């Protein structure tokens, strides 16, 4: 399985928004794009999809920008993937053929395990992982 670049970028920008969630401050596209080294034009598309999925909110105007729409502890990796890609793991067949039902059953078990694991990890978890790797002098 190859993680779409759009999902990786979304995770990175959402971690940036997680950092300002408690303050209520918004982050501007240009700032987010520069910090995460993502094209601003591409980032707008990603943020629009995340907004449509209810993960971020936008404010217009001179002091406008983006912020998380939900508590970062409630936003899982599965939420992010589903917002951008829909159901990432899907079977192509309905279990036809002599061994189809066996293979389909195995893949369904794998997909369930992956979805369960993705549901365990939140934006807060990612941010805390980063904080644990910071050196303080």
| pLDDT tens string 50-77 | 999 999 999 998 888 999 999 999 999 9
Any domain includes 65: yes
Q: Which residues of the chain have pLDDT under 70?
A: 1, 88-89, 93-95, 130-137
Cβ neighbours around 75 below 10 Å, total: 27
Any domain includes 137: no
Any domain includes 93: yes
Any domain includes 59: yes
Strand, coil or helix: what is 21?
A: coil
Range of the domain at 103: 5-132
Any domain includes 57: yes
Any domain includes 35: yes
Strand, coil or helix: what is 100?
A: helix
Report how far residue 121's alpha carbon sits from residue 73's, in angstroms, rounded to the nearest whole number.
9
What is the count of structural domains for the chain? Answer: 1
């Amino acid at each position: 399985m190859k993680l779409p670049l759009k999902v990786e970028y979304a995770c990175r920008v959402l971690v940036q928004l997680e950092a300002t969630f408690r303050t209520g401050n918004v982050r501007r596209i240009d700032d987010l794009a520069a910090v995460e080294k993502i094209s601003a034009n591409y980032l707008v598309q990603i943020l629009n999809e995340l907004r449509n999925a209810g993960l971020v909110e936008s404010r217009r105007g001179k002091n406008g920008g983006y912020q998380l729409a939900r508590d970062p502890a409630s936003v899982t990796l599965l939420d992010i993937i589903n917002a951008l890609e829909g159901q990432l793991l899907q079977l192509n067949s309905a279990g036809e053929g002599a061994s189809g039902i066996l293979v389909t059953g195995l893949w369904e078990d794998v997909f369930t395990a992956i979805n369960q694991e993705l549901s365990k990890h939140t934006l807060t978890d990612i941010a805390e992982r980063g904080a644990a790797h910071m050196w303080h002098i």
